[in-house]
Amino acid sequence: MASGKRNQIRLIAGQWRGRKVDFAPVPGLRPTPDRVRETLFNWLARDLRGTRCLDLFAGSGALGLEARSRGAAEVVLLDRHRLVTQQLREQITRIGMDSVSCHQADALDWLAHNDRPFDVAFVDPPFADALWDSVLAGLARAGTMRPEGKVYVEAPRNRELTLPPGWTIGREGRAGDVRFFLLVTPPAERTGTVPGEISAQTMG
C-alpha cells in the first residue's frame, strides 16, 4: 500500500482506492502506517458510513481522507501548519474528493469553539507535544462527540492516557513502539460531564 515516493501515501480502500496523496515535508510528520490504518478501519467498518469525522492533527491526511474514501459523509481536517493545510487542500482538489474541509487551526482552540457534533474523531498529535489528555478532555466537552462515538488515539507505547468520565476502550493494538486505541464515548444517558473534567481512569 505504501508509495515508493517519499512524502506520499496511498488510499487503501473505498471510492478513491489507490489514489496517491502527497503531503508536506514538515519535520515530525509521520503518517499512520498502512497496516495500522487497515486495522483501524476494519474496527470502524460498520460504524463509518454516513458519519461526520474529525481529524484533529491531519498531517498527511492518511486518516481523514481514508475515512471519506470509505464512506464517511463529511470530514473536517485540522492542522496548525499552513504548509500542511495548503498541501492538503491542493490534494483534495486534485483527486476530486468532496465533503472534506481543511482548516489551519490549533486543535485545542478549535475544540473550545466548536458546536457541531461528530461521530468519529482521530487523535494522532505530534508525540513531542504530549497533547493527548488535553485533547481528549476537549472532545469530552458536551456536544463535541455524539453518544457512543468512536475516538482513535495513537501514542507512544509507554505513554499513559487519562480517559474522560464514562469513556471506555473498545479496541487496542500495538505496532512497534506505538500503541493505538479505539475509544468509545458514553451512551446518551451518561454524556453529562463537566467540560474539561478528567477521571482517575488511566490507560498504562
Average pLDDT over residues 5-22: 93
Q: Is residue 126 part of a domain?
A: yes
Q: Is residue 192 part of a domain?
A: yes
Out of 7-21, 22-36, 40-54, least confident range = 22-36
Q: Is residue 1 part of a domain?
A: no
- Side chain identity, residue 54: L
Q: Are 16 and 65 in contact (CB under 8 A)?
A: yes
Domain count across the chain: 1
Q: What are phi and psi of 127, to 5 degrees?
A: -60, -35
- Side chain identity, residue 65: L
pLDDT 10s digits, 71-98: 999 999 999 999 999 999 999 999 999 9
**What interhelical angle do 62-69 and 34-48 show, nearest 10?**
40
Beta strands 168-175 and 118-123 are unpaired
What percentage of the chain carries pLDDT values higher than 90?
74
What is the separation of C-alpha 162 from the centre of its chain, rounded to a whole number of angstroms? 17
CATH number at residue 113: 3.40.50.150
Question: How buried is residue 120: exposed, middle or buried, by Cβ count under 10 Å (0-12/13-18/19+)?
Answer: buried
Q: Is residue 3 part of a domain?
A: no
| Residue 91 belongs to domain spanning | 8-203
Q: Is residue 111 part of a domain?
A: yes
Across 121-149, b (16+ Cβ under 10 Å) vs e yields bbbbbebeeebbbbbbbbbbbeebbbebb
Q: Is residue 110 part of a domain?
A: yes
Q: Is residue 66 part of a domain?
A: yes
Grid cell, residue 141, equals 466537552
Q: Is residue 2 part of a domain?
A: no
